[in-house]
Amino acid sequence: MTHSAARSQVPASPPYRLWMMVTALAIQTAVILLTRANLEIWGFHCHFRHAIQSHHFVLIATVSVIVACICNYLLARFVVVKSPVSNVTNPLVLKARSLPNFIQQDRNSESLIQFRRNLDEILRMDYPDSLSKAIAIRRWVRQQQAQDEHVWLPPFRRNHENPHRLLEEQRKGVPGACRRFSYILLGALLSAGFDARIACFTSSLHRSGVRSHVTVEVWIEELTQWVLLDPTCDTLVLVDGKVASALELQEAVVREQLDRITFERNGATLEPCPRPATYGRPCRHLFVAVSNAIFDGYSVRIVGPKRLRFLHYSRESTYPTLRKQVLLGAGGSGLCVSVMFWAWILLSLTAE
């Protein structure tokens, strides 16, 4: 794989510390304004503000900030921090057509129908089978981005999952790589009537030095199986000469059987060219999205009702779900407590 493609597999480090600082400032400002506007809260504050010394509040607020920062630091060491993750112990779950509690994209979504118009030329053609059609869509996605070095993903970037915006960025030459390719391909396959889902690989569950890669799985009815499509390398992945799913690729990698892995590019010539060693490092842990409703607003986010969830599978170790939840709860609670007490302190100073 070329240097640019290899670099694209390194996940961007989200600015969690910056996010926490901005959030703390926003919450603090809101608390102060609301407290000033609420006479009952103001009266409660005036009644008790002399009962406890201000330096006690400063101590509590400072300790809470420290707790929040420590939790934030520990969270920043995990992969897939923003999305809820559940562990799967039985790999057969990932082979089934429907995952437990999977949220399907609404096929009548106006946003999906609009995106389908980008594929009019591709969809008008005749194909011998559905896999050939999916391959044609994959090749179309890869051809939307130039080969130039500067259009590959820079070290740090804000991500989103909107196929319309991603396709527009791709055509304008905005840098991006495997993640953007995969969400555009997911949107294209869904708009063409396929069942598809995101499949992500990581070399580790810890962010430090991690290698990752994002791909798409499409359900092929004639084969009654999920088939892995890698739009970045514009290829099918074969294991023992047969089209493979993400799970089959991962199992070959974990067993150190890279000689079983080959590729079928169907005439594609654009770089990067896939090699078994390319997948040898990142494909140790598999994360499969439990929704494909990206046209309905589902995305990777820390809060909100439409969060993309993932199932994790690996023979090596389980995802630390409980530890992440504890850190999120402790960090969020520490941040809120700190803001509340700093607001109380400021009100005490202004009231005197």
244-288 tens-digit pLDDT: 999 999 999 999 999 999 999 999 999 999 999 999 999 999 999
**120 plus 261 within the same structural domain:** yes
CATH number for the domain that contains residue 210: 3.10.620
Q: Which residues of 139-165 are buried (b: 16+ CB within 10 A; e: fewer)?
A: bbbbebbeeeeebbbeeebebebbbee
When pLDDT is averaged across residues 192-219 and rounded to a whole number, the result is 96
Mean pLDDT to the nearest integer, 154-162 = 75
CA distance linking residue 310 with residue 201, whole number of Å: 12
Determine phi and psi for 329, rounding to 5 degrees. Answer: -65, -45
129 lies in the same domain as 63: no
Could you tell me the two tokens for 126?
């005749």
Closest among 320, 300, 303, 328 to 75, alpha carbons compared: 328
Tally of domains within the chain = 2
My answer on whether 67 and 158 are in the same domain is no
In this prediction, residue 5 has a pLDDT band, given cuts at 50, 70 and 90, of very low
Helix, strand, coil proportions of the chain in percent (round to 5)? 50, 15, 35
Instruction: Enter the pTM of the model.
Output: 0.82
The owner of tokens 């009231």 is 351
Q: Distances in Å between the alpha carbon of 345 and those of 24, 43, 45, 351, 352?
A: 15, 15, 10, 10, 11
Q: Which residue has the higher pLDDT, 65 or 136?
A: 136
Q: Provide the pLDDT for residue 340.
A: 78
Same domain? 69 vs 200? no
Position 96 pLDDT exceeds 90: yes
Task: Report the mean per-residue pLDDT for the chain.
Answer: 85
Are 134 and 235 in the same domain?
yes
> Is residue 311's pLDDT more than 60?
yes
- Residue 242: which residues within 8 A CB-CB, separation 6 or more? none
More confident residue, 152 or 156: 152
Return the higher-pLDDT residue of 125 and 18.
125
Rounded-to-integer distance, Cα 93 and Cα 280, Å: 24
Q: What is the pLDDT of residues 6-65, one digit of tens each?
A: 333 333 334 444 454 555 555 555 544 444 444 344 444 444 444 445 566 677 777 888
Q: What is the predicted pLDDT for the residue at 76?
A: 85
Write down the pLDDT at residue 309. 97
Beta strand 310-313 with 85-87 is parallel
Q: Which domain holds residue 184?
A: 85-319
The runs of H, that is alpha helices, within 54-159 are 54-75, 92-95, 110-116, 120-123, 130-143
- Other beta carbons less than 10 A from residue 16's beta carbon: 16
Specify whether 121 is located in the same domain as 190.
yes
Highest mean pLDDT: which of 2-11, 36-45, 64-73, 236-245?
Answer: 236-245
Same domain, 211 and 274: yes
Q: Are residues 15 and 153 in the same domain?
A: no
- Best CA proximity match to 19, nearest among 345, 326, 303: 303
Shared domain check, 199 and 168: yes
At which residue do the structure tokens 């330096």 appear? 55
pLDDT of residue 208: 86
The reply to whether 204 and 330 lie within a common domain is: no
What is the per-residue pLDDT for 337? Answer: 80
- Give the residue among 335, 347, 286 at the shortest CA–CA distance from 80: 286
Statement to judge: residues 91 and 36 lie in one domain:
no
Residues 338 and 310 in one domain: no
